[in-house]
Amino acid sequence: MRISKEHKILIVGLGLIGGSYAQGLSRKGYQVGAIDISQSSIDFALANKYISSGQAEVNKDYVSNFDVIVFALYPSKMIEWIEQYQSLIKENAILTDVSGVKGSNVYKIQSILRSDLEFIAAHPMAGREVYGVENANANIFKGANYIVVPTKNNSEEAVELCKSIGEELEFKNISTLSVEEHDEMIGFLSQLTHCIAVTLMTSKKSEHLAEYTGDSFRDLTRIAKINENMWCELFLSNKDELIKQMEAFEKEFDKLKTAIKEDDEQTIKEMMVTSTQRRKIFDK
Amino acid sequence: MRISKEHKILIVGLGLIGGSYAQGLSRKGYQVGAIDISQSSIDFALANKYISSGQAEVNKDYVSNFDVIVFALYPSKMIEWIEQYQSLIKENAILTDVSGVKGSNVYKIQSILRSDLEFIAAHPMAGREVYGVENANANIFKGANYIVVPTKNNSEEAVELCKSIGEELEFKNISTLSVEEHDEMIGFLSQLTHCIAVTLMTSKKSEHLAEYTGDSFRDLTRIAKINENMWCELFLSNKDELIKQMEAFEKEFDKLKTAIKEDDEQTIKEMMVTSTQRRKIFDK
């Protein structure tokens, strides 16, 4: 079952990602509504035609209209919302999300969910260093990756519907990972890199860095402008996996450091050749 | 004394940076010649009017024509070249370079140099992941930083001339650092970041990484495509400083890891707030 124009879609949480979903789906002709605690975010999205309806209040009259709900909230808020309001949701609706971690919330949500509802997790691997619906832009999904994260509780129909949302938003690659594979991959690709970027900025105090830097430092620290509340929650909710990835990185970094210390040109060059070969795959 | 159209400029080493210097200076109307071991690089630069003369052979008839010489060689090759050929250089010529490290070569060159010649070190903080004069492009200097690295042996005139080359090439910031400040800064900004990028690519083997990654991993590993011969030399010739920077990074990274392990939200958020504040300076 693909997403279709018959489905009414509700976005819960109109931030950068929720707003970009709303914009992208509305442009494709879908009927999109939204709920956000901020009335001004709703007003902005209405004024810009990202949504055709929206409200700050959560009530049955409104929520029960929608066949598909996309949660674009912090993971902890998403769990709270579902616990509090799932009784208002239309029968047989499909729920999905955009959270950056899965182990801490997917199983929990699936276990507490009404039996007629289905939650299928997804992770759009896109973002920017700015926040809020005012910065929403569905173009951030073009060329980006979209990962669907089913569990054994999910139906094929829901997985297909979730994938088709990614297709409508024009993601470049749409793939499937288990919860555990997802959190390992994200621990490495996303969380570890944010840890590195933050550390690079905190480890040296100099007001003149920008005068001396080349592109490399700039590239490695672009993501050091970071929403501390969201990322602290993401780090802590994927703590075990992130620590594992940080330790694997530290071990490998130490291997390079030892090679440099010992003038071990062979090891240094081998690592560089490997990194060059592997990185080239990204440019294809 | 600024660089002027009276000065004939010789580029020794027509790679990406030497070729980009030649292109940029020729476009500004300077008389630029070049020496490179590869006749085909000379031919390419002549055909594209990056230089008005050039040869693979090093002889007095040619070398003695030039008032200013820019070395765009690996640092070790630059020292060898100067030892072998400085007798051919015109009296009172000014020599400069583009090397990424300074401590391992500037003092040595100044100590062996003929007393009428002057070597003033410079570091154009620009580069690309491609090599050779075929990829030369003087636009890589626009918006980039250019660091002049004088010692007490340098005259004000030579420093001024060296800075004016950076101005002609349209660098955005032109600044001055001591040899030791330069190597510390570069150990941190450039070499440490390359170590991190290489380590990120070597620490996990997966042919599918590209399917799952967001922009952050892509950004942090752009420089992981690396010329192993050049960078191995750069790392080892700045070894003590680089090791110091790697250890400072490891210590700070470990602080973040411990905070994550211990659910110490305050430390995590403080580091993120600091990194966000400091990184914002780069966008100005």
Taking the C-alpha atoms of residue A111 and residue A177, their distance in angstroms, rounded to an integer, is 20
Q: Is A29 on the interface with B (CB under 8 A)?
A: no
A171 and A61 in a common domain: yes
- CATH number of the domain at B156, please: 3.40.50.720
B216 and B85 in a common domain: no
Per-window interface: B 69-88 vs A, CB < 8 A: none
Report whether A50 contacts A26 (CB < 8 A): yes
Inside any domain, residue A3: no
Which residues of A are less than 8 Å from B202 in CB distance?
252, 271, 274-275, 278
A236 and A134 in a common domain: no
Last residue of a domain, one of A146, A177, A208: A177
Q: Is B109 on the interface with A (CB under 8 A)?
A: no
Q: What residues have CB less than 8 Å from A233, skipping those under 6 apart?
A: A74, A75, A76
pLDDT, tens digit, for every residue of A131-189? 899 999 999 999 899 999 999 999 999 999 999 999 999 999 999 999 999 999 999 99
Report whether B94 contacts B159 (CB < 8 A): no
Identify which has the larger pLDDT, B212 or A275.
A275
- The structural domain count of chain A equals 2
Choose among B58, B54, B70: nearest CA to B7.
Answer: B70
A152 and A250 in a common domain: no
ipTM score of the complex? 0.87
> What mean pLDDT, rounded, does chain B reach?
95
Inside any domain, residue A2: no
Q: Is B273 on the interface with A (CB under 8 A)?
A: yes
A152 and A38 in a common domain: yes
Report whether B231 contacts B129 (CB < 8 A): no
Per-window interface: B 121-160 vs A, CB < 8 A: 125-127, 144-145, 147
Task: Provide the pLDDT confidence category of residue B214 given band limits of 50, 70 and 90.
Answer: confident
A202 and A168 in a common domain: no
A241 and A142 in a common domain: no
Q: Is B210 on the interface with A (CB under 8 A)?
A: yes
Inside any domain, residue B3: no
Task: Provide the pLDDT confidence category of residue B215 given band limits of 50, 70 and 90.
Answer: confident
B186 and B172 in a common domain: no
A105 and A199 in a common domain: no
Sign of the Cα torsion A226, A229, A232, A238 reads negative
User: Which structure tokens are listed for B259?
Assistant: 């905070």
Helix axes B228-237, A265-280, angle to 10 degrees: 140
B191 and B134 in a common domain: no
pLDDT at position B189: 92
Taking the C-alpha atoms of residue A57 and residue A65, their distance in angstroms, rounded to an integer, is 14
Structural domain harbouring A191: 182-283
Range of lowest pLDDT (A205-209, A219-223, B19-23, B104-108): A205-209
Taking the C-alpha atoms of residue B249 and residue A162, their distance in angstroms, rounded to an integer, is 41
Q: Is B266 on the interface with A (CB under 8 A)?
A: no
Mean per-residue pLDDT for A197-205? Answer: 92
Inside any domain, residue A271: yes
Task: Provide the pLDDT confidence category of residue A129 given band limits of 50, 70 and 90.
Answer: confident
Side chain identity at residue A284, one-letter code: K
A151 and A73 in a common domain: yes
Q: What's the pTM value of the predicted model, to 2 decimals? A: 0.86
**A184 to chain B nearest CA, in Å?**
11
pLDDT at position B193: 96
pLDDT, tens digit, for every residue of B162-211? 999 999 999 999 999 999 999 999 999 999 999 999 999 999 877 778 88
- CATH number of the domain at A190, please: 1.10.3660.10
Q: What residues have CB less than 8 Å from A196, skipping those under 6 apart?
A: A220, A249, B196, B200, B220, B253
SS3 per-residue string spanning B1-43: CCCCCCCEEEEECCCHHHHHHHHHHHHCCCEEEEECCCHHHHH
Q: Is A218 on the interface with B (CB under 8 A)?
A: yes
Residue holding tokens 């005259």? B155
